[in-house]
Structure 1
């Protein structure tokens, strides 16, 4: 079982200039570079971008709906890589309200799991086709308070990897922890990111730029 090297690609102006960070988590079989290309479609000129790279281009080996033990130690290693990225930003004097997390597919599942285990007032969470990880959800892991964090979570109906039922469960937990969730289920949508999803994310990101 692989664990992840600490490899994070950064793009954009330095954090000392922007004061805002967007952490972008790629999907299975993809790369940090591929998820960073999504930034071209988002209003993130005033953000510093961070994209961790999974070793072997996969964050964990099996489905996110498999028993969590089957995805170890890769899952914990992946969560640690996100946490070290978040902590390094916080240590530079940036508040969590100026940290945004975005993921697609496996990256959205990992982002959901990380954020719900470390709930705090983030600037926003963008969960493009993903949900909390595990065959059964280990609710004891979910700690903290989102304090009104805006969350966008999406999936197709049906989606080959992410069932609507798990998105619904994820929304319920995040709302219990104080998130303000926008959920979008797209009938017959392929496993991709639609323009409407990008537009919804852009609305949340634009508010950040307006407030800076």
Structure 2
């Protein structure tokens, strides 16, 4: 199991951070990819970033929209345990923004639906639930949890239908949801999405309003 010491730490020191962002990478990616694709585009004083690393660069082998198998359930459980272990080692009262891209976004959504709510927010760039509507999937009451989820009608990994199902399930779980669809956007994080993360972090560091 990955512990905090094995994750990549960037930004402010954990002990003095006003907010901590756990940012999970996508399939075939790495913490370094998240640093290059997302962190370098942020202006985030007062924010500590924790970037977990998946074994073999994948949080689970199946596609997110595949029906759940026992193997996928076990892999997903192990990956969620990675996030839980990280959270357990963070300063207890510091807000946490659980964020991710693609497979990392799916993992972050599953964390919310398994273990939420918490003091902080969810930011899922191009994500959905793992599995199908026919699967038994946890759906905790996450009343009031700020949850941002984005998608595209042209993304090759997360179909717009699966994205829409995740929005509906987060809403049914009583999260405070903002959902953005970016027509024709490829499998990437746009500047508009970066702006949402920027403003979400600023909400916690400067007591500014949430961007939704």
TM-score range, shorter chain: 0.7 to 0.9
Q: How far is the alpha carbon of 1:28 from its aligned partner?
A: 0.5
Does the 8 A contact of 1:118 with 1:142 survive in 2?
no
Partner Cα distance (2:68, 2:192) in 1:
32
Partner Cα distance (2:138, 2:114) in 1:
6
| Partner in structure 1 of residue 130 of structure 2 | 133
In structure 1, runs of 5+ residues without a counterpart are none
Q: How far is the alpha carbon of 1:82 from its aligned partner?
A: 0.7
- Per-residue CA deviation, residues 52-76 of structure 1 (Å, 9 max, x unaligned), is 1000111111101112224242211
Does the 8 A contact of 1:20 with 1:94 survive in 2?
no
Does the 8 A contact of 1:121 with 1:148 survive in 2?
no
Partner Cα distance (1:116, 1:36) in 2:
26
| Partner in structure 2 of residue 160 of structure 1 | 156
Does the 8 A contact of 2:28 with 2:58 survive in 1?
yes
Counterpart secondary structure, 2:89: helix
Counterpart secondary structure, 2:182: strand
- 1:197 and 2:193 are equivalent in the alignment: yes
TM-score normalised by structure 2 residue count: 0.88
| Partner in structure 2 of residue 151 of structure 1 | 147
| Partner in structure 2 of residue 94 of structure 1 | 93
Does the 8 A contact of 1:31 with 1:54 survive in 2?
yes
| Partner in structure 2 of residue 111 of structure 1 | 108
Partner Cα distance (1:68, 1:44) in 2:
37
Does the 8 A contact of 1:150 with 1:204 survive in 2?
no
| Partner in structure 1 of residue 51 of structure 2 | 51
Counterpart secondary structure, 1:157: coil
Counterpart secondary structure, 2:152: strand
Partner Cα distance (2:39, 2:121) in 1:
15
Does the 8 A contact of 1:151 with 1:179 survive in 2?
yes
- Per-residue CA deviation, residues 154-180 of structure 1 (Å, 9 max, x unaligned), is 111032111111112111221222211
- Per-residue CA deviation, residues 112-170 of structure 1 (Å, 9 max, x unaligned), is 1111111113422111101111123655522242x322222111103211111111211
| Partner in structure 2 of residue 31 of structure 1 | 30
User: Please, which of 177, 180, 184 is the counterpart of residue 180 of structure 2?
Assistant: 184
Q: CA 1:196 to 1:88, structure 2 compared with 1: closer, same or farther past 3 Å?
A: same
